Amino acid sequence: MFEGNVFGKLDGKLQKALSDAGYKHPTPIQEQAIPQLLSGRDMIGIAQTGTGKTAAFMLPILQHLIKVRKPRRIGHPRALVLSPTRELAVQTAENARRYSVHTSLPFACLIGGVSQYGQVKDIKKGAETLIACPGRLIDLMTQGIVYLDQVECFVLDEADRMLDMGFLPDIKRIISKLPCVRQSMFFSATMSPEVSRLAGELVTDPVKVEIAPETPAVEKISQRVMFVEKNCKDSLLIHLLKTHPEWEKVIVFAKMRHGADRVAKKLHREGIPGAAIHSDKTQNQRTKALEGFKRGEIRVLVATDIASRGIDVKDVSCVVNMELPIETESYVHRIGRTARAGESGVAVSFVAPEERGLLKAVERFIRKTIRVESDHPFRNENAERKVGAGDSLPQAPWMGKAKQGKDGRNKRRRKVNFAGRRQADFRKKG
């Protein structure tokens, strides 16, 4: 079925599931990681969401559970995947369900924001794999429902995001309950000194797999800046959505939760199907919004940075930044929601005159001058003149052709430590 590639090394039940799901060829991280993990090695993987890393670690885990059968002990899982957000945990669980459909390997997804009743029920059915957020997992450990003494395979996913969200104490507490002898897999989009120290505490003699960082994928995204007064941003967004019906799936990033709700309400009044997703929403509300967006029932998903990683939705036409993020790396993660799997995409950022400093920080980080798009009814000419709007770069796809110029080549990178900033916003369980 998969002769000549790494999927052919997997159990027939897993191969059938992959075939049913339409898998044909492994992604680079799957090609490199699966053979090493099948051999039992610990791993440090440097890769972003959207590269296929979930299959890269989940398939070897399922293979191990199929080949090494043991009597089930209720509340004592054999595999644990730790995720930073509810959305990423749910997505990982969906993939696990898809891959294990022809096996008899039960699992449970443990997330906050919803009743624990269904999750406890899944555990008591003999879940061998737990996919969990730190808060809910520790809750259930404290209640004596989950014990980690039998874990054979452990995955820490999106480790850098975990640290950004202030989960380091929880992670260390969880790791302290794991057996010393286990297979550990550590995945992160970036490797700061903090992340490297955590990796050193987690893995033993690891093999390192590094996939090209997300920044090169930015080249496939048509990036544009539109200068606009703050109080006109909502109107500009509605104008763009109405004049570009070809944008069938749009993710709009707002800086604050109340801003996301405000934008979603304005879209509703204009007859544009939209929904907000952020940490104040219940898990059921967030799941309903995300599923509606995936199915195309909701055209616009308005999100805070909680959704900048971990949500992998196909065919996102455009990403709109209502404000540029303070953390420059978040810009790349945001716009990376479009142009998935080699496709192209559009990213538009609204910048008020007082936000020009954030734009320059982003341009230094991506080492590229972002084209200023002037052809819109809410143009702020004063701000444009100050940044030199005449820089010639490829024109936006909805405009006419323009001359191609050189990318900005300022190689300095702003190094800012934002660990712990807005920590209180993220310390909610799950």
Q: What is the 3-state secondary structure (H, E, C) of the chain?
A: CCCCCHHHHCCHHHHHHHHHCCCCCCCHHHHHHHHHHHCCCCEEEECCCCCCHHHHHHHHHHHHHHHCCCCCCCCCCCEEEECCCHHHHHHHHHHHHHHCCCCCCCEEEECCCCCCHHHHHHHHCCCCEEEECHHHHHHHHHCCCCCCCCCCEEEECCHHHHHHCCCHHHHHHHHHCCCCCCEEEEEECCCCHHHHHHHHHHCCCCEEEECCCCHHHHHHEEEEEEECCHHHHHHHHHHHHHHCCCCCCEEEECCCHHHHHHHHHHHHHCCCCEEEECCCCCHHHHHHHHHHHHHCCCCEEEECHHHCCCCCCCCCCEEEECCCCCCHHHHHHHHCCCCHHHCCEEEEEEECHHHHHHHHHHHHHHCCCCEECCCCCCCCHHHHHHHCCCCCCCCCCCCCCCCCCCCCCCCCCCCCCCCCCCHHHHCCCC
Q: Which domain holds residue 378?
A: 215-387
Could you tell me if 233 and 356 lie in one domain?
A: yes
Q: State the pLDDT at residue 423.
A: 39
Q: State the pLDDT at residue 182.
A: 97
Could you tell me if 174 and 52 lie in one domain?
A: yes
For residue 402, give the nearest of 219, 237, 242, 222 by alpha carbon.
222
pTM comes to 0.63
The last residue of a domain, from among 165, 180, 210: 210
Q: Identify the CATH number of the domain in which residue 346 sits.
A: 3.40.50.300
The CA distance from 132 to 129, in Å, is 10
- Convert 198-213 to b/e letters by CB count within 10 Å (16 or more is b): bbeebbeebbebebee
Question: Contact 162/84 with Cβ under 8 angstroms?
Answer: yes
The CA distance from 47 to 321, in Å, is 23
Could you tell me if 299 and 373 lie in one domain?
A: yes
Cα–Cα separations (whole angstroms), residue 174 to 43, 139, 213, 322, 361: 19, 11, 29, 37, 36
Q: Report the domain count for the chain.
A: 2
In a domain, 339, yes or no: yes
Question: What phi and psi values does residue 371 have, to the nearest 5 degrees?
Answer: -60, 130
In a domain, 79, yes or no: yes
- Give every residue of the chain whose pLDDT is below 70, as ranges: 49-50, 212-218, 306-311, 340-343, 383, 385-430
In a domain, 59, yes or no: yes
For residue 153, give the nearest of 268, 38, 72, 290 by alpha carbon.
38
Could you tell me if 124 and 231 lie in one domain?
A: no
In a domain, 120, yes or no: yes
The last residue of a domain, from among 210, 226, 245: 210
Judging by beta carbons within 10 Å of its beta carbon (0-12, 13-18, 19+), is residue 129 exposed, middle or buried? Answer: buried
For residue 425, give both structure tokens.
Answer: 């916003």
- The dihedral region occupied by 3, where left means phi > 0, alpha psi between -120 and 50, and beta the remainder, is beta
Cβ partners under 8 Å of residue 130, min gap 6: 77, 79, 80, 81, 107, 108, 109, 110, 123, 137, 146
Could you tell me if 17 and 152 lie in one domain?
A: yes
Could you tell me if 269 and 343 lie in one domain?
A: yes
Q: State the pLDDT at residue 367.
A: 81
Q: State the pLDDT at residue 218.
A: 67
Could you tell me if 153 and 250 lie in one domain?
A: no
Q: State the pLDDT at residue 214.
A: 45
Cα–Cα separations (whole angstroms), residue 247 to 183, 241, 319: 44, 7, 10
Q: State the pLDDT at residue 410.
A: 39
Question: Contact 37/185 with Cβ under 8 angstroms?
Answer: yes
Could you tell me if 206 and 219 lie in one domain?
A: no
Could you tell me if 275 and 334 lie in one domain?
A: yes
Q: In the chain, what's the furthest Cα-to-Cα distance?
A: 71
